[in-house]
Amino acid sequence: MEAFGSLDVVVNNAGISEDSKALEDRSLEEWSKVIDVNLTGVFLGTKHGAQAMKALEKPGVIVNVASILGHVGFQGAPAYSAAKHGVLGLTKAVALELAEFGIRCVAVCPAFIQTPLIEGMEEHVLPLHPMGRLGKPREVSDMILFLASDEASFLTGASYLVDGGYTSQ
Protein backbone atom coordinates (compact mmCIF):
# COMPACT_ATOMS: atom_id res chain seq x y z
CA MET A 1 0.00 0.00 0.00
CA GLU A 2 2.82 2.37 0.83
CA ALA A 3 4.75 1.64 -2.34
CA PHE A 4 1.88 1.66 -4.85
CA GLY A 5 -1.00 3.36 -3.04
CA SER A 6 -3.41 0.54 -3.88
CA LEU A 7 -4.00 -3.16 -3.65
CA ASP A 8 -5.88 -4.69 -6.56
CA VAL A 9 -4.92 -8.36 -6.44
CA VAL A 10 -3.72 -10.74 -3.74
CA VAL A 11 -2.31 -14.13 -4.75
CA ASN A 12 -1.87 -16.49 -1.83
CA ASN A 13 0.67 -18.95 -3.19
CA ALA A 14 2.70 -20.56 -0.46
CA GLY A 15 2.86 -24.24 0.22
CA ILE A 16 4.92 -27.02 1.69
CA SER A 17 4.60 -30.75 1.26
CA GLU A 18 4.91 -33.46 3.85
CA ASP A 19 6.82 -36.70 4.18
CA SER A 20 4.88 -39.72 3.02
CA LYS A 21 4.35 -41.98 6.01
CA ALA A 22 1.57 -43.68 7.92
CA LEU A 23 -0.90 -41.45 9.72
CA GLU A 24 -0.09 -42.94 13.12
CA ASP A 25 3.60 -42.12 12.58
CA ARG A 26 2.91 -38.39 12.17
CA SER A 27 3.45 -35.97 15.00
CA LEU A 28 1.13 -33.10 15.81
CA GLU A 29 4.05 -30.78 15.09
CA GLU A 30 4.39 -32.15 11.53
CA TRP A 31 0.63 -31.86 10.97
CA SER A 32 0.49 -28.32 12.34
CA LYS A 33 3.38 -27.07 10.23
CA VAL A 34 1.67 -28.16 7.00
CA ILE A 35 -1.71 -26.76 8.10
CA ASP A 36 -0.12 -23.50 9.27
CA VAL A 37 1.63 -22.79 5.97
CA ASN A 38 -0.93 -24.23 3.54
CA LEU A 39 -4.17 -23.08 5.20
CA THR A 40 -3.50 -20.55 7.94
CA GLY A 41 -1.12 -18.68 5.65
CA VAL A 42 -3.88 -18.37 3.03
CA PHE A 43 -6.30 -17.21 5.73
CA LEU A 44 -3.89 -14.48 6.86
CA GLY A 45 -3.15 -13.28 3.33
CA THR A 46 -6.86 -13.25 2.54
CA LYS A 47 -7.77 -11.47 5.77
CA HIS A 48 -5.22 -8.69 5.42
CA GLY A 49 -5.75 -8.34 1.68
CA ALA A 50 -9.51 -8.02 2.14
CA GLN A 51 -9.04 -5.50 4.91
CA ALA A 52 -6.85 -3.31 2.69
CA MET A 53 -9.19 -3.62 -0.31
CA LYS A 54 -12.25 -2.76 1.76
CA ALA A 55 -10.48 0.33 3.13
CA LEU A 56 -9.83 1.49 -0.45
CA GLU A 57 -13.52 1.04 -1.31
CA LYS A 58 -12.70 -0.34 -4.74
CA PRO A 59 -13.01 -3.76 -6.37
CA GLY A 60 -10.27 -6.32 -5.95
CA VAL A 61 -9.47 -9.97 -6.45
CA ILE A 62 -8.06 -12.57 -4.08
CA VAL A 63 -6.68 -15.69 -5.77
CA ASN A 64 -5.93 -18.61 -3.49
CA VAL A 65 -3.67 -21.29 -4.88
CA ALA A 66 -5.01 -24.62 -3.65
CA SER A 67 -4.34 -27.92 -5.42
CA ILE A 68 -6.04 -30.83 -7.09
CA LEU A 69 -5.63 -32.36 -3.65
CA GLY A 70 -8.33 -29.93 -2.53
CA HIS A 71 -10.70 -32.00 -4.70
CA VAL A 72 -9.33 -35.50 -4.12
CA GLY A 73 -7.28 -37.33 -1.53
CA PHE A 74 -3.71 -38.53 -1.90
CA GLN A 75 -2.25 -41.39 0.11
CA GLY A 76 0.61 -40.20 2.27
CA ALA A 77 -0.47 -36.54 2.30
CA PRO A 78 -3.30 -36.17 4.84
CA ALA A 79 -2.33 -32.74 6.18
CA TYR A 80 -1.66 -31.34 2.71
CA SER A 81 -4.97 -32.71 1.41
CA ALA A 82 -6.88 -31.40 4.43
CA ALA A 83 -5.29 -27.96 4.11
CA LYS A 84 -6.07 -27.68 0.40
CA HIS A 85 -9.67 -28.80 0.98
CA GLY A 86 -9.78 -26.07 3.62
CA VAL A 87 -8.53 -23.47 1.15
CA LEU A 88 -11.48 -24.26 -1.12
CA GLY A 89 -13.95 -23.87 1.75
CA LEU A 90 -12.28 -20.63 2.82
CA THR A 91 -12.48 -19.33 -0.75
CA LYS A 92 -16.22 -20.01 -0.96
CA ALA A 93 -17.00 -18.44 2.42
CA VAL A 94 -14.88 -15.36 1.73
CA ALA A 95 -16.43 -14.90 -1.73
CA LEU A 96 -19.86 -14.69 -0.12
CA GLU A 97 -18.69 -12.24 2.53
CA LEU A 98 -16.81 -9.91 0.19
CA ALA A 99 -19.13 -9.89 -2.84
CA GLU A 100 -21.02 -6.83 -1.60
CA PHE A 101 -17.72 -4.91 -1.57
CA GLY A 102 -16.88 -5.84 -5.15
CA ILE A 103 -14.06 -8.10 -4.02
CA ARG A 104 -13.89 -11.49 -5.72
CA CYS A 105 -12.25 -14.56 -4.22
CA VAL A 106 -11.35 -17.56 -6.38
CA ALA A 107 -9.04 -20.56 -6.18
CA VAL A 108 -6.69 -22.22 -8.63
CA CYS A 109 -6.08 -25.96 -8.28
CA PRO A 110 -2.95 -27.12 -10.06
CA ALA A 111 -2.03 -30.75 -10.54
CA PHE A 112 1.59 -31.77 -10.15
CA ILE A 113 3.59 -28.92 -11.65
CA GLN A 114 7.28 -29.01 -12.54
CA THR A 115 8.57 -27.16 -9.47
CA PRO A 116 11.00 -27.94 -6.65
CA LEU A 117 8.02 -28.99 -4.49
CA ILE A 118 7.73 -32.29 -6.39
CA GLU A 119 11.43 -32.88 -6.99
CA GLY A 120 12.12 -36.61 -6.84
CA MET A 121 8.43 -37.52 -7.28
CA GLU A 122 8.20 -36.98 -11.03
CA GLU A 123 8.26 -40.64 -12.08
CA HIS A 124 5.59 -41.49 -9.51
CA VAL A 125 3.14 -38.70 -10.37
CA LEU A 126 3.61 -38.43 -14.15
CA PRO A 127 1.36 -41.45 -14.92
CA LEU A 128 -1.46 -39.82 -12.93
CA HIS A 129 -1.90 -37.16 -15.62
CA PRO A 130 -3.88 -38.30 -18.70
CA MET A 131 -2.12 -35.69 -20.85
CA GLY A 132 1.11 -37.63 -20.29
CA ARG A 133 3.11 -34.77 -18.84
CA LEU A 134 3.39 -32.58 -15.78
CA GLY A 135 2.09 -29.04 -15.80
CA LYS A 136 4.33 -26.03 -16.28
CA PRO A 137 4.44 -23.06 -13.90
CA ARG A 138 3.42 -20.75 -16.76
CA GLU A 139 0.17 -22.68 -17.22
CA VAL A 140 -0.77 -21.96 -13.61
CA SER A 141 0.30 -18.32 -13.75
CA ASP A 142 -1.75 -17.82 -16.94
CA MET A 143 -4.85 -19.04 -15.08
CA ILE A 144 -4.09 -16.72 -12.17
CA LEU A 145 -3.66 -13.77 -14.53
CA PHE A 146 -6.97 -14.56 -16.21
CA LEU A 147 -8.81 -14.85 -12.89
CA ALA A 148 -7.34 -11.55 -11.72
CA SER A 149 -8.37 -9.78 -14.93
CA ASP A 150 -11.54 -7.91 -15.83
CA GLU A 151 -12.37 -10.76 -18.25
CA ALA A 152 -13.19 -12.86 -15.18
CA SER A 153 -15.28 -10.17 -13.47
CA PHE A 154 -18.27 -12.47 -12.86
CA LEU A 155 -16.22 -15.31 -11.34
CA THR A 156 -16.13 -15.66 -7.57
CA GLY A 157 -16.34 -18.44 -5.01
CA ALA A 158 -15.22 -21.18 -7.37
CA SER A 159 -12.07 -23.18 -8.01
CA TYR A 160 -10.44 -23.73 -11.37
CA LEU A 161 -8.46 -26.82 -12.22
CA VAL A 162 -5.16 -26.72 -14.08
CA ASP A 163 -4.65 -30.45 -13.99
CA GLY A 164 -4.06 -32.13 -17.35
CA GLY A 165 -7.12 -34.27 -16.75
CA TYR A 166 -5.98 -35.60 -13.37
CA THR A 167 -9.35 -35.16 -11.63
CA SER A 168 -11.33 -36.48 -14.63
CA GLN A 169 -10.36 -40.05 -13.74
Cα 117 to Cα 142, 155, 161, 163, distances in angstroms:
19, 29, 18, 16
Catalytic residue among 11, 38, 80, 106: 80
User: Cα(first)–Cα(last) distance of the chain, in Å?
Assistant: 44
H or E segment to which residue 98 belongs: helix 78-98
| β-strand pairing of 103-110 with 9-12 | unpaired
Q: What is the DSSP letter of 111?
A: -
Active site includes 80?
A: yes
* Residues recognised as catalytic: 80
